[in-house]
Chains A and B, each alone.
Chain A
């Protein structure tokens, strides 16, 4: 790579973009690196926003991926609060809202996603919030101060984490979920029932199979959520946690293939040899599961950042990783590895009544995915077994008296 050339331009300074920039330097890439983000903050971690940060147990400093001084010190040109408006692939330039044009040898798109909005009456009332950015988290924390009544729309992980954090802040919480049970998109029984029960025991109310029709308000502020059928659930704050929408319009506009996200291969490549894409914005192959999918996790951001940085810096491609994730709710440490595709059996190890157990999703005698609750050994061993596609002996996996080391031996 020509040290004097335009180098690498990274659009998006979130977890994936920030990590890609740092890895380029770590891998010895000596060319120009420009990192452009539309938030006014240097790259930071989002996971704490619904957990420790919302509860007031972490400060803004602890969110940063690297101290701000890192970027200048590493020769990374960090451009914050800046929006890229267009990509011209034939000229290899990107245009910024402020009128600047930047050239690139290699472009990494890391534009992430935005919270999906509910397009219903009252969605613009004050107090109807979403949670994606640090600014959103500030607004939510301020809104919840003083033990307000929180209605969470969406029983996914963001909603459940926010519910747990809000309870810790002394708020009343109701979770309103469209499907018959929570976590319908990402988890299955028995984890969904276990979590619903755990939340209920800690004062969270659930409305499942509930369609939200409108938000009601007074003096411009939300006062309630009206369900189909007419019932109104009173509240002071609403958190809409119904998933995300990938920011792939820049890619679409410049003719890159998108399927609800920028299509990439297992090296983060698009069809354009000068354009890579990483993180939440991508539609990517899952080699272990023989399909394309969309991952929304820190682990994915890190893996794809490694793929992109390795490619550009001329390092061997990194090994495929087993997708993993985690969620902290109350005193529960949830850890997930793999995805339950093509599973034909569910095997529970441990004791849900003790809140220490793991749900293994098996395909024949191979583990496709594991959902661990306060069961780190099951998570770590499960992750290795999933990646190695190693068969297990069901009776041993189901028997807590047999250690996971022995199961994995």
Chain B
């Protein structure tokens, strides 16, 4: 379980307890947090679950796979701390994680 803060583009914050084993994306979708579309449902096939990971958390969330990097390469408004949230697995170690959603996923 990890308490994750999802910050909307507007600054509005949603603090959610997400079960370990779910992805950061699923934590948002299951709790009606707006800003993550997840068109492909977590199959790493669409790049619409894009989030910016807070600097303090970049190490703990790990490095993206080659496939995720390729997807991100062509997503919109990508920054060095961009990740596809369907590829970040929640563990206890992510307690306190903060991610920010882009203005639009498309």
The chain A residues found within 8 Å of chain B, CB to CB, are: 26, 45, 47-48, 61-62, 64, 66-67, 70, 73, 298-299, 302, 324, 326, 328, 333, 335, 374-377, 379-381, 384, 404-405
Contacts and interface: CB of A to CB of B under 8 A. Distances in A.
A48 B43 CA distance: 9
Contact of B73 (A47, A70, A374, A405): A405
B40 interface: yes
B71 interface: yes
Contacts of A26: 34
Interface in B20-78: 26, 29-32, 34, 39-41, 43-47, 67-68, 70-71, 73-75
Given A48-B41, A302-B39, A67 B32 contact: yes
B32 A70 contact: yes
Given A66-B29, A380-B73, A384-B74, 5 more contacts: A67-B32, A298-B40, A326-B40, A333-B43, A404-B74
A404 B70 CA distance: 10
Interface on chain B toward A: helix, strand, loop, or mixed SS? Answer: loop
B103 to A, nearest CB: 14
Nearest to A26: B34
Nearest to B41: A45
B30 A333 contact: no
B56 to A, nearest CB: 28
Contacts of B39: 298-299, 302
B45 A333 contact: yes
Contacts of B40: 47, 298, 326
* Interface-central residue, B45, B68, B74, by most chain A CB under 10 Å: B45
Interface of B: 26, 29-32, 34, 39-41, 43-47, 67-68, 70-71, 73-75
B102 to A, nearest CB: 16
A45 B42 CA distance: 11
Contacts of A324: 45-46
- Smallest CB-CB A-B distances: 5 pairs: A380-B74, A376-B70, A326-B45, A377-B70, A45-B41
Contact of A374 (B32, B43, B67, B71): B67
A298 B41 contact: yes
B30 A376 contact: no
Contact of A47 (B43, B44, B70, B75): B43
Contact of B67 (A70, A376, A404): A376
Q: Indicate the member of A73, A326, A376 with the most B CB atoms within 10 Å.
A: A376
A84 B47 CA distance: 36
30 contacts: A26-B34, A45-B41, A47-B41, A48-B41, A62-B26, A66-B32, A67-B32, A70-B32, A298-B39, A298-B40, A299-B39, A324-B45, A324-B46, A326-B40, A326-B45, A328-B43, A333-B43, A333-B45, A374-B67, A376-B67, A377-B70, A377-B73, A377-B74, A379-B45, A380-B70, A380-B71, A380-B73, A380-B74, A380-B75, A381-B74
A328 B40 CA distance: 12
Given A299-B39, A374-B67, A333 B74 contact: no
Given A66-B29, A298-B39, A299-B39, A333 B70 contact: no
Contacts of B73: 377, 380, 405
A73 B34 CA distance: 14
A67 B33 CA distance: 11
A73 B45 CA distance: 30
A298 B75 CA distance: 19
A137 B44 CA distance: 23
Contact of A333 (B26, B29, B41, B44): B44
Nearest to B22: A62
